[in-house]
Structure 1
Amino acid sequence: MNLAERSNSYTIRLNNISVHYEWYENKEANDKPVFTLIHGFLSSTFSYRRLIPLLNRRYNVLALDLPPFGKSQKTKKFEHSYQNLSQVVIKLLENLAIEKSILIGHSMGGQIALNIAKNRPDLVSRLILLSSSGYMERSKLSLVYSSYLPFFSLGLKKWLEKQGVRKNLLNCVSDPNMIDEEMIQGYLQPFNDDNIFKSLTRMIRDREGDLSSEELKKITIPSLLIWGKEDRVVPLKIGKRLNRDLPNSKLIVYENTGHLLPEEKPNEVLENILSFINT
């Protein structure tokens, strides 16, 4: 049975926006913590398609599309700050009565997970950070001001189209041969709705800077950091710096691996996660 056949997909209204989430139940895992999967920028739950079935063999798994990505609502009225996005995840956990969760955050999703750990540590038992973003400053004022210009979102759309999904994926993986048509279409699908470009324009204005070293040092939740040595999107030096700042963290580095860890090395990621949470 494939992932789509086992998936229970839902839509819920949280913080004045419709959020898509998926619940994968394992009836033998009711006494175990739930894994909550948070994807990265320009991505969706699709990026976890290889890891979800592996985790679901032992655990209940929750995955969501952060607005404005995936199947979640795309609107310029929503505040697309990391603080607000982390509140969406917190509200989802509360609505589903999930008292403790192991958060897995990939890329930007790692920064959202860190915000949740900072603001609601009671909800988090472990942090798994896969090539997590970190130490990014807020967008330059010149770009923020430019985002208010008419047709800025149209220009953003043309720029992203020029980049192309395949080109972006080539920058994210170590082995280009793994990129097939299914992968391209999966990452392309959310951008068929033009409203996403208006939302991304709003995100340029709303996104605050990443958590500082001082804030990170206060997060004592056990954390596993996994990185690809050939990551060109969030280089390994970010992982090493996070490992220094997070007081209760461990860093694992994969050879011949890029940025898309859940796609490139799902079995290895699973093995390291299981070892970490059972320690």
Structure 2
Amino acid sequence: MALKHDASSKFVPRAAASSSSSPTEYSEQLLGGVTPQQKKQRITGIDQDELQDPKLLADPESCFCKFKGAQIHYKIYDAESLAPNLSKEVTTPQDSDTTKSLGFPMILLHGFMASTFSWHRVMKPLARVTGSKVLAFDRPAFGLTSWVDPANHSPTGSRDARPLNPYSIMFSALASRYFIDVLAAEKVILVGHSAGSLVAVDTYFEAPERVAAMVLVAPPILAPLLKQDFSKDNRRGKNNKKQEEHSNSDSHRNPILRILSMLSKLTKHIAQAIMNILKRMGDMINYVYKKALSALLRSAIGVMLVRMIVARFGKALFRHAWYDSNQLTDHVLQGYTKSQKVKGWDKALAEFTAAMLADSSSQSKPQLSKRLSDISCPVLIVTGDSDRLAPPWNSRRLSQFIPGSRLEVIKNCGHLPPEETAEEFVLVVEKFLQRTFGASQEQRLQVVT
């Protein structure tokens, strides 16, 4: 698959923003027009009347490509082209000869309200750890990936009656597969942080043969409450069958017992029918509720509410994610809120939220919690011991439901291990890769020599 990308942003200077088609028009429609002084609005410190095109906000390393009608922003680092001293912030052990020969590229998938910036401290060190390419891209609604209107979204050459929603998890999973082809790799290592873990797992189920391993960082994947024991279920079923056969033999002898048995079965069937009706009613009410909420989010009122919520709670959410909020410097905060300088960011975030509601109510595929045992590739789960958004106890349970997975808990760390404890995070990933692929790589080298 040929890559169509535009790296011209490397040489495009920042320009003054155009005031035309500002997202504040939604508020104006509701308020019936405002004066220039009232029109001024700042969200997380960003003037919303000075929003820009994504390419004008790009870094020198930024690249852009078209995928199914969306202009996606991504960054890529290649171990071969990097200098020996890869990062001022993070250093890795110098004796990683085993991982240098891995040959598996890595794709990094960010979480909610994040972007490629989430990986800025670890991308280059991870490239050296893998000895290959490391790629991170901004999912639609975040970073510098452009706003796409789902109502008018129809990729060039697409014959689909209902084009895939660019803000859905499935779209991000297909974009991940696309970038596997961009990397010209048979297999890759997927690293998903927070909501990016959902994308990583969905990508795995879409193409398990293309995934060498997964690293799930602070995953918000809810682990099942009970681990089903099929052997016990089988024994229980056999015992129930024996009891039923014994009861039937007694009822044939006694007509009163036979009538009571029939009444008992009839009562069970009626109760089951009532429960099924109530469940369907509940599902229908839930579906209608989510449909109405999605419609509200896509309206002018919904977009205005998104802006108000981000303005009110945006910075507080970032601080809550950190173990030590003092580490949240102005530079880091600006990196995470850069997407709010992009034209249409509020509409995109509203569409993303609506898409998440649609994904959660979809009946087209089994619940993720019921598919965890089907994962067969090596999996590392990384969590901070003080994560308040995706608590470590859930990660511990999650590791019990994914066969052969490994759990690493980083001390004095919140929801952002790649940011808060970058060095330890890289070391944890490196040890996992050495343990998983190191022996096989050494054997290959011995055969070659």
Tell whether 2:307 aligns with 1:151.
no
Which of the numbers 186, 208, 213 marks the counterpart of 1:121?
208
Which of the numbers 306, 323, 330 marks the counterpart of 1:174?
323
Tell whether 2:368 aligns with 1:212.
yes
Q: Secondary structure at the match of 2:148?
A: coil
Conserved? CA contact 1:86–1:115, under 8 Å: yes
Tell whether 2:147 aligns with 1:74.
yes
Deviation at 1:102, TM superposition (A): 0.7
Q: Which residue of 2 aligns with 1:184?
A: 333
Tell whether 2:194 aligns with 1:44.
no
Which of the numbers 22, 26, 35 marks the counterpart of 2:75?
22
Give, as a single letter, the amino acid of the residue that structure 2 aligns with 1:195: G
Conserved? CA contact 2:141–2:352, under 8 Å: no
Unmatched 5+ stretches in structure 1: none
Give the 3 Å change call, closer, same or farther, for CA 10–160 of structure 1 in structure 2. same
Give the 3 Å change call, closer, same or farther, for CA 248–134 of structure 1 in structure 2. same
Q: Which residue of 2 aligns with 1:203?
A: 352
Task: Tell me the TM-score normalized by structure 1.
Answer: 0.90
Deviation at 1:205, TM superposition (A): 2.4
Q: Which residue of 1 aligns with 2:184?
A: 97
Conserved? CA contact 1:7–1:22, under 8 Å: no
Tell whether 2:214 aligns with 1:65.
no
Q: Which residue of 2 aligns with 1:134?
A: 221
Conserved? CA contact 1:11–1:19, under 8 Å: yes
Q: Secondary structure at the match of 2:62?
A: strand
Deviation at 1:213, TM superposition (A): 2.1
Unmatched 5+ stretches in structure 2: 1-9, 11-58, 82-99, 154-164, 224-285, 361-365, 436-449
Deviation at 1:204, TM superposition (A): 2.3
Deviation at 1:83, TM superposition (A): 1.0
Give, as a single letter, the amino acid of the residue that structure 2 aligns with 1:243: S
**Separation in 2, partners of 1:64, 1:211:** 26
Q: Secondary structure at the match of 1:99?
A: coil
Conserved? CA contact 1:135–1:211, under 8 Å: no
Structure with bigger gyration radius: 2
Count the aligned residue pairs: 273
1:4-15 matched pairs, under 5 angstroms: 8-15=61-68
Give the 3 Å change call, closer, same or farther, for CA 179–152 of structure 1 in structure 2. same
**Separation in 2, partners of 1:150, 1:49:** 34
Greater CA drift, 222-231 or 208-217: 208-217
Conserved? CA contact 1:45–1:65, under 8 Å: yes
Conserved? CA contact 1:7–1:23, under 8 Å: no
Deviation at 1:131, TM superposition (A): 0.2
**Separation in 2, partners of 1:51, 1:104:** 12
1:146-186 Cα offsets, whole Å, 9 max, x none, are 32443211111111111132x12210010112111101111
Give the 3 Å change call, closer, same or farther, for CA 212–164 of structure 1 in structure 2. closer
Conserved? CA contact 2:109–2:197, under 8 Å: yes
Which of the numbers 96, 105, 109 marks the counterpart of 2:196?
109
Task: Tell me the TM-score normalized by structure 2.
Answer: 0.57
**Separation in 2, partners of 1:150, 1:72:** 22
Identical counterparts, % of pairs: 26
Which of the numbers 244, 249, 252 marks the counterpart of 2:400?
244
**Separation in 1, partners of 2:372, 2:60:** 35
**Separation in 2, partners of 1:97, 1:201:** 34
Deviation at 1:87, TM superposition (A): 0.7
Q: Which residue of 2 aligns with 1:35?
A: 106
Q: Secondary structure at the match of 2:351?
A: helix
Give, as a single letter, the amino acid of the residue that structure 2 aligns with 1:186: G
Give the 3 Å change call, closer, same or farther, for CA 41–99 of structure 1 in structure 2. same
